[in-house]
């Protein structure tokens, strides 16, 4: 059995809602992960980063207050620490992320997720 398509979703985010609608318009009912309520583990986020082919810093939401409070712009902060901080403060994780058949895309813009199908 293959894993279902998953979306790391924040219903308050317009891009996240648009990405979910794009999937549903194509008959895809993904597993919806409300990552602010159920943040990914360090291992899961590490896997997602590999699937996205991006660094932790590229997945950070730099406009969030906690980004400034924790001084995460410091280039000396190692990837492992950034991953830990994102799991502790999931608001810092850029969204939406769609995972399908071991590959992932960030829905910025939302249409980018369609590359998975």
Active site residues: 13
Helix (H) or strand (E) holding 106: strand 103-106
Q: Contact 83/42 with Cβ under 8 angstroms?
A: yes
Q: How far apart are the first and last CA of the chain?
A: 18
C-alpha–C-alpha distance, residues 53 and 87, integer Å: 18
């Amino acid at each position: 059995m293959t894993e279902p398509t998953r979306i790391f979703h924040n219903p308050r985010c317009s891009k996240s809602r648009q990405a979910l609608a794009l999937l549903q318009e194509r008959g895809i009912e993904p597993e919806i992960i409300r990552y602010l309520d159920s943040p990914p583990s360090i291992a899961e986020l590490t896997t997602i980063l590999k699937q996205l082919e991006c660094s932790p810093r590229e997945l950070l939401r730099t406009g969030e207050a906690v980004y400034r409070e924790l001084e995460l712009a410091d280039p000396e902060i190692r990837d492992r620490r950034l991953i830990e901080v994102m799991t502790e403060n999931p608001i810092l994780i850029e969204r939406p992320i769609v995972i399908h058949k071991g590959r992932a895309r960030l829905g910025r813009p939302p249409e980018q997720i369609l590359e998975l199908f």
